[in-house]
């Protein structure tokens, strides 16, 4: 996924500053007297990370040697003005499966609990892949998935019933790149970013058995990062672990 210019509250980062100095970066097209605060750091892959500045310029920097899957390493970045930042990065699995959020329920009950389902676009490992939601997160361990398969979790913390978001990242690190994201609300809410664009999904008609489902046709998931990718199933249309109910 591409970078987003609005930082999600779920992805605020704590950075250790060298010598207790304020972090500043200097883009290549800036004048010598111009510096911009860092607004975001994102690990794009095992081989590169991106630093975004407050003026929406960015730099992509190679990681040498590349990160190893599941292992943490401290990265030190030195800016052109001589200041450093230090942050920990976790390597994603080289054979990571590509997945999307395919169905979720936020108004569960004892018989039909809150749940989040993912759908595999490719086969591979899910080790380290993390689903973050308003009330908590879940990281897969020793798990793999085949293309076309569905897998779901039932968070013991439950999901925020009416307003929230669900985010999938490649690792449990808050600096990890976003694989997929969905935003839902019972109010008028609009987000302008590259991982979600426009109005949130209207959660009001959903229930424990009328779930929010992604459009998936002939194995292809609609993924425009908008509410148009989604629909609410009919009564008793809950199908976690299998093909979504018909529209």
Answer yes or no: are the C-beta atoms of 137 and 156 closer than 8 Å: no
For residue 43, give every residue at least 6 positions away whose Cβ sits within 8 Å of its Cβ, in sequence order, or none: 49, 67, 89, 90, 170, 171, 173, 175, 176, 177
User: For position 33, what pLDDT does the model report?
Assistant: 35
Q: Three-state DSSP class for 195?
A: coil
User: For position 12, what pLDDT does the model report?
Assistant: 34
User: For position 83, what pLDDT does the model report?
Assistant: 87
Question: Pick the residue with more confidence: 30 or 246?
Answer: 246
**Other CB atoms within 10 Å distance of the CB of residue 63:** 17
Q: How confident is the model at residue 220 (pLDDT cuts 50, 70, 90)?
A: very high
User: For position 241, what pLDDT does the model report?
Assistant: 97
126-159 CB burial, b ≥16 within 10 A, e <16:
bbbbbbbbbeeebebeeebbeeeebbbbebeebb
User: For position 81, what pLDDT does the model report?
Assistant: 83
User: For position 32, what pLDDT does the model report?
Assistant: 33
CA–CA distance, 47 with 66 (Å, rounded to integer): 5
User: For position 139, what pLDDT does the model report?
Assistant: 97
User: For position 35, what pLDDT does the model report?
Assistant: 59
**Other CB atoms within 10 Å distance of the CB of residue 223:** 15
| 65: preceding bond cis by omega (within 30 degrees) | yes
User: For position 128, what pLDDT does the model report?
Assistant: 96
User: For position 82, what pLDDT does the model report?
Assistant: 85
Answer yes or no: are the C-beta atoms of 210 and 103 closer than 8 Å: no
Topology at the third CATH level for domain 99-232: Immunoglobulin-like (2.60.40)
Is 214's pLDDT higher than 80?
Answer: yes
Is 19's pLDDT higher than 50?
Answer: no
Answer yes or no: are the C-beta atoms of 16 and 203 closer than 8 Å: no
Q: How do residues 34-47 score in pLDDT, each as one tens digit? A: 458 899 899 999 99
Q: Give the strand pairing for 178-185 and 201-202.
A: parallel
Answer yes or no: are the C-beta atoms of 92 and 128 closer than 8 Å: yes
Q: How confident is the model at residue 56 (pLDDT cuts 50, 70, 90)?
A: confident
Ordered by start, the domain boundaries in the chain are 9-90, 99-232
Name the percent of the chain lying above pLDDT 90. 72
Q: What mean pLDDT do residues 158-165 have?
A: 95
Sheet holding 84-90, edge to edge: 16-17, 84-90, 72-78
Q: How confident is the model at residue 145 (pLDDT cuts 50, 70, 90)?
A: very high
Look up the pTM and report it: 0.81
Q: Give the strand pairing for 115-120 and 230-232.
A: unpaired
Q: How do residues 81-125 score in pLDDT, each as one tens digit? A: 888 999 999 999 999 999 999 999 999 999 999 999 999 999 999
Mean pLDDT of the chain: 86
Cα diameter, the chain = 63
Q: Give the strand pairing for 58-62 and 48-53.
A: antiparallel
Q: How do residues 127-137 score in pLDDT, each as one tens digit? A: 999 999 999 99
């Amino acid at each position: 996924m591409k970078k987003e210019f609005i930082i999600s509250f779920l992805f605020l980062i704590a950075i250790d500053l060298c010598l207790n100095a304020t972090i500043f970066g200097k883009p290549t097209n800036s004048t010598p007297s111009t510096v911009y605060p860092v607004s975001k750091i994102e690990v794009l892959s095992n081989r590169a990370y991106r630093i975004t500045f407050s003026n929406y310029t960015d730099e992509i920097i190679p990681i040498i040697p590349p990160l190893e899957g599941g292992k943490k390493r401290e990265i030190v970045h030195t800016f052109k003005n001589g200041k450093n930042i230090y942050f920990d990065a976790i390597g994603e699995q080289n054979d990571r499966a590509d997945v999307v959020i395919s169905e979720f329920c936020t108004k569960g009950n004892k018989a039909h609990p809150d749940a989040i389902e993912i759908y595999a676009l490719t086969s591979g490992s899910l080790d380290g892949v993390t689903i973050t939601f308003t009330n908590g997160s879940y990281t897969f361990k020793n798990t793999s998935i085949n293309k076309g398969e569905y897998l779901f979790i039932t968070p013991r913390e439950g999901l925020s019933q009416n307003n929230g978001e669900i985010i999938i990242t490649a690792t449990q690190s808050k600096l990890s790149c976003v694989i997929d994201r969905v935003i839902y609300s019972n109010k008028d809410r609009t987000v302008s970013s590259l991982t979600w664009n426009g109005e949130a999904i209207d959660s009001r008609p959903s229930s424990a058995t009328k779930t929010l489902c992604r459009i998936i046709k002939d194995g292809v998931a609609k993924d425009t990062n908008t509410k148009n990718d989604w629909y609410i199933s009919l009564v008793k249309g809950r199908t976690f672990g299998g093909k979504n109910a018909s529209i």
